[in-house]
Amino acid sequence: MEYWLDQFHIFLLVLLRVSALLMVAPIFGHRTWLARAKVGLAFTVSIILFPIVADQPLDVPAGILPYALMMIREVLMGVVMGFVVLLLFVGIQFAGQVAGLQMGFGIVNVIDPQSSNQLSIMGQFLNILAILLLLSLNGHHTILTALVTSFETIPLGGVVLKAGLMQKMIAITAEVFIIGVKIAAPIMTALFLVTAAMGVLARTVPQMNVFMVGFPVQISVGLGAFLVCMPLFAMLVERLIITMRRDMLVMVDFMH
C-alpha cells in the first residue's frame, strides 16, 4: 500500500509540472482548445513520462504545508519553462504590431483568442505563421525534449528557487524587443524609404494628396517587403527555436 501511495505522489508531481508547462506554452495551451483536450493531453504526457521518474527516490513531507509548497514549486517550474516559449510568440506578435502600425493597419485590430487582447492584422498573421513554422520545424518536439531533460536534471521535489532566477527572466523578457526589431526591421526600412519619398513628393507636387496616395503605397510596399523576406523569417524562427531550447535549459539550471 505504501508503494502505491508513493507512486501516486510521484505521478501527481509529474502531472503538475507537465500541466503547468502545457497550459502556458502557446501551442499546447491555446484557448481555442477544449478544456477536456488539454486535460487529456496533460494526462497522456504525464503517463508517458512517468516511467522515467518512477524509480527516483521521493521524500514526501509529512505536513500538509510542506507538501503544498513542494507542489507549488513544481507548478512554478512548469510555468517558467512555458513562459520562455510564450515570450518567443510575444516577440513575433510585437514585430507584427510594429510593422502593421507602420503600414497603416493601426486602426484595424482583431481579437487574439489566446491572449484576449487586440492585435493588428500583421501581428495575428505572423503569430499563426510562426506556429505553423514551429510545428513544421519540430519545435513542439523541442519543448517536450526540454521537459524530459528537466526531470533528468531536477528530480521531483528538488526544485529550488534561486535569487538569480528573476534576473534571468527579466533578461529573457528584454529579448522580446530584440526579436521584434529583427523581424520587423526589413519592413520598417522599406516603409521609411517610402515615407521619405512621399515627403519629397509632397514638397515637389503640393497639389497631390499625399495621404491618399501614400496609404495604398505603404500597404503594398510593406506586404511586398514581407513576401521578399519570408525565407529570412523562416530562418529566424529556426534560430529562435534553438535559442528557446537553450533558455529553457538555462532556466532549469537556475532551479536546482
> Is residue 224 scored above 70 in pLDDT?
yes
**How would residue 1 be classed by pLDDT, with cut points 50, 70 and 90?**
low
Mean pLDDT value across the chain: 80
Rg (the chain; Cα; Å):
23
**Which one has a higher pLDDT value, 206 or 224?**
224
Give the tens place of pLDDT for each residue, 207-217.
Answer: 777 667 777 77
Residue 153 has what pLDDT? 84
Residue 198 has what pLDDT? 79
Q: Which residues pair with 120 in a beta bridge?
A: 109
Q: Which residues pair with 71 in a beta bridge?
A: none
Average pLDDT over residues 52-80: 81
**How would residue 131 be classed by pLDDT, with cut points 50, 70 and 90?**
confident
**How would residue 5 be classed by pLDDT, with cut points 50, 70 and 90?**
confident
**How would residue 32 be classed by pLDDT, with cut points 50, 70 and 90?**
low
Residue 69 has what pLDDT? 86
Q: CA 72 to CA 38: how far, in whole Å? A: 20
Asked whether the beta carbons of 238 and 60 are under 8 A apart, the reply is no
